[in-house]
């Protein structure tokens, strides 16, 4: 019988990141196809009549054809238990992606072969770099005309500051795409379009030295391939598994997620190259899942109303160590209380499976009666340690929000508080004429649309939003500071956040320095703690 540590060794937990439209969700679906979770993969299209992606469960996602919230998906493949954290590609939802990366051990970066590194890819990669997690690169859409292979690799190295090591090499692109050359086996995997990727592909391999290859690949393409491989062998970075796992070298794969070409090759290499669940930092030191017997986990995401019929809240937890069993009791560190972890679920977007057990590295959803917050630690250890907090990023856009119907104040406050607890928005309160006014802050303006949509559809509340000019926010760190006594600039507003912590909003960046100069001992921070 497998031990807890044997089970943990088989876990692989990764986030998929990309710029919008690079094909991230399509690639995710193909992984699920190989994991036997899907019988048919349907591509994401922006039409209401088209199939929506399996990982997109929120109604607004299905209507718009974009991902606006991270999904958690699980499947088994070749003895591994895989946890995929599918993240929103749109920059307006990047904070959800940042939090999700905290729960991952590595990241798969999907790049459009015709565009190279794009703005959002750069931003997300910085977060991976800050955490030092390994990044695996899948250059997608080779069935369309792509940039020069060396230019793509240079782009990754210059823009993201990480060395690359191509595991395979493309032969042509677009209409002249013939397949990829495996640098280790010296074989060519010939391109085939498996009915637009709706079924698992059949790999046809042929040795580069086999004379029959000239019947399948044009002579000029073979000549170019030999030249490019010679160049790469001479000047490129060598394959180094240690450097890959340290986040210093990114292995690169080429393929087409839409046609399901190169996906299985990538998946199998990835599972062998990536690590088992990694140690996590806590206030009691590093917690290593391969040494720590006791169960521990942290909450990285909360989602309300995943099931409209039940009006429930799910707290997504990354298990960091030990074994989880359904209904077990554990200590909720931030709540300073014992809790029973009930209705444990694993996810396939909005579809849920009740589970009996899970292990370090797994992602599970727990019913949340309203007691959990993002960043909370749960453990069965006698030492009630806390995992490092998940930073909340500074909002860049602000609006005053009011419900249209004054009789629906209770529903409005409940809805806006629940959505804020998920981390999708941040809410601040100001006292105005004896009434608490609500100010909403978001990282991207599209979050305002999602807020209005969800309040209407989930809480039956219509709202009015008034845009505010603030661009800069600072949390007050100094505990002795009296908010009422702070002398600021004319563009400054004093507010409190959801947890009653005092903050300052500014229209101009330079006002921060002036406010610090005018208030001796005042300490301000760009980040709050979740």
Same domain, 223 and 119: yes
Residues 97 and 225 in one domain: yes
Closest CA to 96 of 379, 291, 300, 279: 300
One domain, residues 268 and 284: no
Q: Are residues 322 and 404 in the same domain?
A: no
Do 467 and 505 belong together in one domain?
yes
Q: Are 129 and 301 in contact (CB under 8 A)?
A: no
The answer on pLDDT for 349 being more than 50 is no
Residues 233, 306, single domain; the answer is no
CA pair distance 459, 399, nearest whole angstrom: 20
**269 and 308 belong to one structural domain:** no
Q: In this structure, are 61 and 207 located in the same domain?
A: yes
| pLDDT at residue 75, as a whole number | 86
pLDDT tens string 490-508: 999 998 887 778 889 999 9
- Residue 5 covered by a domain: no
pLDDT at 528: 61
Q: What is the pTM of this model?
A: 0.78
Give residue 46's pLDDT: 34
**Res 333 pLDDT > 90:** yes
**Has residue 390 got a pLDDT over 80?**
no
In a domain, 385, yes or no: no
Tens digits of residue pLDDT in 26-67: 888 888 888 877 655 443 333 333 344 544 445 544 444 443
Note whether 320 and 269 are same-domain residues.
Answer: no
User: Which domain, by its residues, includes 364?
Assistant: 280-379
User: pLDDT tens across 132-166, in order?
Assistant: 889 999 999 999 999 999 999 999 998 888 999 99
* pLDDT tens digits along 227-266: 999 999 988 889 999 999 999 999 999 999 999 899 999 9
Residues 417 and 515 occupy one common structural domain: yes
CATH of the domain at 345: 2.40.30.10
Helix (H) / strand (E) element for 123: namely helix 119-131
Mean pLDDT of the chain, nearest integer: 83
Quick check: 498 and 436 in contact, CB under 8 A? no
The tokens describing 46, both together, are 């922006």
| Alpha-carbon gap, residue 232 to 226, rounded angstroms | 10
Residue 431's pLDDT is what? Answer: 60
- List CB contacts of 450: < 8 A, sequence separation 6 or more: 60, 68, 424
């Amino acid at each position: 019988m497998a031990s807890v540590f044997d089970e943990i060794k088989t876990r692989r937990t990764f986030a998929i990141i990309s710029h919008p439209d690079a094909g991230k969700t399509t690639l995710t679906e193909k992984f699920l196809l190989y994991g036997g979770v899907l019988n048919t993969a349907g591509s994401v299209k922006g039409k209401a009549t088209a199939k929506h992606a399996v990982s997109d469960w929120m109604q607004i996602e299905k209507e718009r054809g974009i991902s606006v919230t991270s999904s958690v998906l699980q499947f088994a493949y070749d003895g591994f238990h895989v946890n995929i954290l599918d993240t929103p590609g749109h920059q307006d939802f990047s904070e959800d992606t940042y939090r999700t990366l905290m729960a991952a051990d590595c990241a798969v970066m999907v790049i459009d072969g015709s565009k190279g590194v794009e703005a959002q890819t750069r931003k997300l990669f910085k977060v991976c770099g800050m955490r030092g997690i390994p990044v695996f690169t899948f250059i997608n859409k080779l069935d369309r005309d792509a940039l020069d292979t060396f230019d793509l690799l240079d782009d990754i190295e210059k823009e993201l500051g990480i060395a690359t090591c191509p595991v395979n090499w493309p032969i042509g692109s677009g209409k002249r795409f013939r397949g990829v050359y495996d640098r280790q086996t010296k074989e060519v995997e010939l391109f085939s379009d498996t009915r637009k990727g709706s079924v698992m592909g059949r790999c046809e391999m042929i040795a580069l030295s086999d004379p029959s290859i000239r019947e399948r690949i044009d002579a000029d393409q073979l000549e170019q391939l030999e030249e490019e491989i010679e160049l790469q062998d001479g000047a490129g970075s060598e394959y180094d598994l240690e450097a890959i796992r340290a986040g210093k070298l990114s292995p690169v794969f080429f393929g087409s997620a839409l046609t399901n070409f190169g996906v299985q090759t990538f998946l199998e290499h990835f599972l062998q190259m990536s690590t088992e669940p990694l140690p996590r930092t806590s206030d009691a030191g590093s917690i290593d899942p391969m040494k720590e017997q006791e169960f521990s986990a942290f909450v990285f995401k909360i989602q309300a109303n995943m099931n409209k019929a039940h009006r429930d809240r799910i707290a997504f937890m990354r298990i960091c160590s030990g074994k989880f069993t359904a209904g077990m009791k554990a200590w909720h560190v931030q709540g300073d209380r014992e809790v029973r972890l009930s209705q444990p679920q694993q996810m396939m977007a909005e579809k849920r499976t009740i589970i009996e057990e899970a292990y370090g590295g797994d992602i599970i959803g727990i019913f949340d009666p309203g007691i959990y917050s993002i960043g909370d630690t749960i453990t069965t250890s006698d030492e009630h340690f806390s995992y490092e907090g998940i930073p909340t990023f500074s909002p860049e856009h602000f609006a005053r929000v009011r419900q249209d119907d004054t009789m629906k104040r209770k529903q409005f406050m409940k809805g806006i508080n629940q959505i804020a607890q998920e981390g999708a928005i941040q809410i601040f309160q100001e006292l105005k004429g004896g009434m608490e006014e609500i100010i909403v802050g978001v990282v991207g303006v599209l979050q305002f649309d999602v807020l209005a949509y969800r309040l209407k559809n989930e809480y039956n509340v219509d709202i009015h939003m008034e845009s505010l000019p603030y661009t800069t926010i600072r949390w007050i760190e100094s505990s002795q500071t009296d908010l009422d006594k702070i002398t600021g600039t004319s563009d400054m507003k004093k507010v409190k956040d959801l947890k009653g912590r005092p903050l300052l909003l500014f229209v101009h960046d330079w006002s921060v320095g002036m406010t610090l100069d005018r208030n001796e001992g005042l300490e301000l921070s760009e980040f709050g703690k979740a």
